[in-house]
Amino acid sequence: MPMSLTRLACRLHLFAFCVGGGLAAAPAHAEDFALPYDLAGDPDTRLAASDNGPARYVQDTSDLDENILLPAARPQDDNPERKWSRDYLAVGAGVLSTPSYNGSDDRNILPAFYLRGRVSGFSFSTRGTNFQVDLIRQRRGQKTDFKFGPIINLRSDRTGRIKDPQVEALGEKKMAVELGISAGVTHTGVITSEYDQIGFRVVGLKDISGKHGSWVVSPTLDYGTPISKRAYLGASVSVNVYGKGFGRYYYDIDPLGSAASGLPVYTGAGRKATAGKYTIGVAGAYALSGDLRKGFVLVGGAQYGRLTGRYADSPIVSQAGSADQWLFGGGVAYQF
């Protein structure tokens, strides 16, 4: 159904998966750009609205567009025996404005791309610098969708493009490879209509490359709704909980690092696991074709994040950077 796929357009905040600078140049905290996620239900409905007026929804089993970026339903799709949600492939390209490291007050502008799809009910997508697969097949017509599957992430924070001379003097970090699980649930038809969506998900990642040797857990709550046939809005809130090794690797400063950079010795971030960052984000999509279900869609989003506690107290944040973290992204998407 179009509603759920409106979400697809919005997900271009996943832009952090950069093409121009390569994965190593992508900010490791780009996966924190947690704008509305995959709240994709699959009710058998047709979106009907004036070009500028509010959307209304008419039950119609002849049009099985569960994704707003899909082209209009084709005759071969009108099969009442079809069990799983329709296959699709969506691609996008754009730019991302992000801090040069997580906690920096300097910015980088990076080109990026986005990929998402579904085959035989199994969904996959890029999100920031990670790739994930949903192993729970999405059934046609379901309003509540459970998600569970593996996720792999490349964390490249402070591996390059550091603009602050003191933080640069601490030395570049090695890219960490993290493996984990993504799980969640979404429900269609909550507040504004039968087709707005709310979802909750948790991502847990563990370093398997021996770099920071720790873990990250990120619960997120998403909400999104269409406001017309052309436009969609969504929002999300999340928190990142970091293990001790993560804080020690990225935010603590040992005596050698202090001597090289002029920043004071700091050991607070690695003392215990803690919630280190809170975020809130908004995203929007606008169909150039006049219909969010087909053609090219402009997408954009913004996110405010705040480093807290022991992480905000680290000298690379409190002296060389800022606890306030803004990310902005925009571009164009198209679905095949």
**Nearest-angstrom CA–CA distance, 314 and 103:** 9
Whether pLDDT at 26 is above 70: no
- Cα four-point dihedral sign 315, 173, 207, 185: positive
pLDDT tens digits along 250-296? 999 999 999 999 999 999 999 999 999 999 999 999 999 887 767 89
Whether pLDDT at 44 is above 70: no
Whether pLDDT at 74 is above 50: no
What are the two backbone dihedrals, phi and then psi, of residue 281, each rounded to the nearest 5 degrees? Answer: -135, 155
Q: At a CB cut-off of 8 Å and minimum separation 6, what does 14 contact? A: 33, 112, 114, 116, 125, 126, 127, 128
Query: Which of 61-65, 107-111, 178-182: highest mean pLDDT?
Result: 178-182
Average pLDDT, the chain: 79
> Between 177 and 38, whose confidence is greater?
177
> Between 185 and 44, whose confidence is greater?
185
Closest to 192 in 3D by CA, of 26, 54, 332, 53:
54
Mean pLDDT of 188-202: 87
Q: Which domains does the chain have, with CATH numbers?
A: 2-335 (2.40.160.40)
Mean pLDDT of 26-44: 38
Confidence of residue 141 (pLDDT cuts 50, 70, 90): confident
Mean pLDDT of 217-243: 94
* pLDDT score, position 127: 74
Whether pLDDT at 326 is above 90: yes
Place of tokens 């490791």: 28
